[in-house]
Amino acid sequence: MAVASLLWTLFLFSIIFSLQSSSSSSSDTPITRFQQYLRFNTAHPNPNYTAPVSFLINQAQSIGLTAKTIEFVSGKPILLLTWLGSNPNLPSILFNSHLDSVPAESEKWIHPPFSAHKTNDGHIYARGAQDDKCIGVQYLESIRNLKSRGFVPLRTIHISYVPEEEIGGFDGMMEFAASSEFRDLNLGFAMDEGQANPGDEFRVFYADRIPWNLVIKAEGIPGHGAKLYDNSAMENLMKSVELISKFRESQFDFVKAGKAANSEVISVNPVYLKAGTPSTTGFVMNMQPSEAEAGYDLRLPPMADPDVMKKRIAEEWAPSIRNLTYTIIEKGKLRDHLGRPIMTPANDSNPWWSIFKQAVEATGGKLAKPEILASTTDSRFLRTLGIPVFGFSPMTNTPILLHDHNEFLKDTVFMKGIEVYESVISALSSFEGVSDQVI
């Protein structure tokens, strides 16, 4: 009997426990709302934006923001939320994030990438947890808190959720930034995604490097594999490859010597080589081919001079005199409409910087030295228009896991981010100065 009653007690306990845990996991908190947003699979190659956009519209309505979707490309909506300021004539501020994410290889994750599983120590695992669904929800949660405290912004605040950032933003932010709807926002300042820091300072980014795709093609007289002769396609291409490798080393040396950060130099990395005469078993070995080709990924920081680079390519890397041709595909601009390098000053010459910095420090946080992002974000489309933008995702003491397996964010880090945005959003939206976009 004693055993039976003990089992009965355990059984009752287990029911009570499971009721409790299910009620706490279904309760509505900033963390559960973050988890809900993470469970929408918006990974490439086939992100479906319908459900997450509905979710965000519901969230926006529950806190009294107006919502509008704009579709420049079918199935790829841009969601724009607005909190009207008390002086809507002042330039507004924008908080941007992207809806999509890179794919995840489920079998290599310790928790399924779209489960948003939270461990006992508070790690929330999901593709997009760091990049960048965290900020998408933090913007909303901080506004929810500001509203509940009765805060009224002076400037109008917009929040945008854009598709397709991970594949270049061409059907997303690029279209939006070129639209009349965007011009009508009259933006004075914007914030976009940044990156995590394993250390205890917040990272902030004031520029992106701009990618160029460079393809160099060589043509020459073909010849027997045994023959020594000048100016074969392979020989001419190999000369280019050597010169480019030397340039790559000279840039890398600055990084290795600690004179520049990785993102402050011009990187040029070989990504493919194509040559040879195919045979049924591989390549014909006794033949020197008449064509050869090499592809490079170049990344240029904003202070690099695009004309100097083009001259170097034309005269040194791929001169026509060596029977080389080349194409450059520029994936963005290095100069704005006034010919200035595209970067947002991250010092006291820019009033938005001072306000932002003070707002972060007011929460006990510390900013790391402002950085150039090694890769790209949608910010480049805004900076090109002369709009100052900082890239910022408030994640300290967090390993950098964007695009990696087992991407996670800790609940306490997520919650701290909400506090930081409350401070940042209230400070920026209260800024009375600069009535136009000139900084």
Ligand X SMILES: *[C@@H]1O[C@H](CO)[C@@H](O)[C@H](O)[C@H]1NC(C)=O
Pick the catalytic residue: 132, 165, 171, 192? 165
Shortest Cβ 150–ligand X spacing (Å) = 36
Asked if 236 interacts with ligand X (CB under 6 A), we say: yes
In whole angstroms, give the CA distance from residue 131 to residue 136.
Answer: 10
Contact 385, 177 (CB under 8 A): yes
Residue at shortest CB range from Zn ion: 131
Residue at shortest CB range from ligand X: 231
In whole angstroms, give the CA distance from residue 161 to residue 95.
Answer: 9
Asked if 323 interacts with ligand X (CB under 6 A), we say: yes
Annotated ligand binding at 405? The verdict is: no
Q: Is 16 left (phi over 0), alpha (psi -120 to 50) or beta?
A: alpha
Q: How many CB atoms lie within 10 A of CB 69?
A: 14
Element (H, E) at 300: strand 291-300
Task: Please confirm, yes or no, whether 291 is among the known catalytic residues.
Answer: no
Show the beta-strand stretches assigned E in 76-199.
76-83, 92-98, 117-118, 123-125, 157-162, 187-192
Shortest Cβ 132–Zn ion spacing (Å) = 4
Which residues in this chain contact Zn ion in the complex, by CB under 5 A? Answer: 131-132, 193
* Span of 47-55, 116-124, 146-154, 240-248 interacting with ligand X by CB under 6 A: 47-55
Q: Binding string to ligand X for residues 368 to 407, with x set by CB under 6 A, is what?
A: ----------------------------------------
Asked if 52 interacts with ligand X (CB under 6 A), we say: no
Task: Please confirm, yes or no, whether 165 is among the known catalytic residues.
Answer: yes
Out of 9, 347, 375, 412, name the contact with ligand X by CB under 6 A: 347
Asked if 39 interacts with ligand X (CB under 6 A), we say: no
* Nearer to Zn ion (CB atom), residue 132 or residue 219: 132
In whole angstroms, give the CA distance from residue 248 to residue 243.
Answer: 9
* The amino acid at 35: Q
* Nearer to Zn ion (CB atom), residue 117 or residue 403: 403
Shortest Cβ 220–ligand X spacing (Å) = 6
* Span of 43-51, 144-152, 246-254, 285-293 interacting with ligand X by CB under 6 A: 43-51
- Please, which residues bridge with residue 389 across strands? 190
Burial of residue 341, with CB atoms counted within 10 A of its CB: 0-12 exposed, 13-18 middle, 19 or more buried: middle
* Nearer to Zn ion (CB atom), residue 99 or residue 424: 99
Q: Choosing among ligand X, Zn ion, none, which partner's interface includes residue 132 (Cβ < 5 to 8 Å by kind)?
A: Zn ion
Contact 68, 58 (CB under 8 A): no
Query: What part of residues 156-195 is at the interface with ligand X (CB under 6 A)?
Result: none
CA dist 388 to 34, 189, 196, 205, 411, Å? 28, 5, 21, 11, 30
Shortest Cβ 60–ligand X spacing (Å) = 18
In whole angstroms, give the CA distance from residue 243 to residue 268.
Answer: 11
In whole angstroms, give the CA distance from residue 59 to residue 140.
Answer: 8
Asked if 345 interacts with ligand X (CB under 6 A), we say: yes
Q: Which active-site residues does the annotation give?
A: 100, 165
Q: Which residues are annotated as part of the binding site?
A: 98, 131, 166, 193, 403
Residues that bind ligand X (CB under 6 A): 48, 50-51, 220, 231, 236, 322-323, 345, 347, 349
Binding residues for Zn(2+): 98, 131, 166, 193, 403
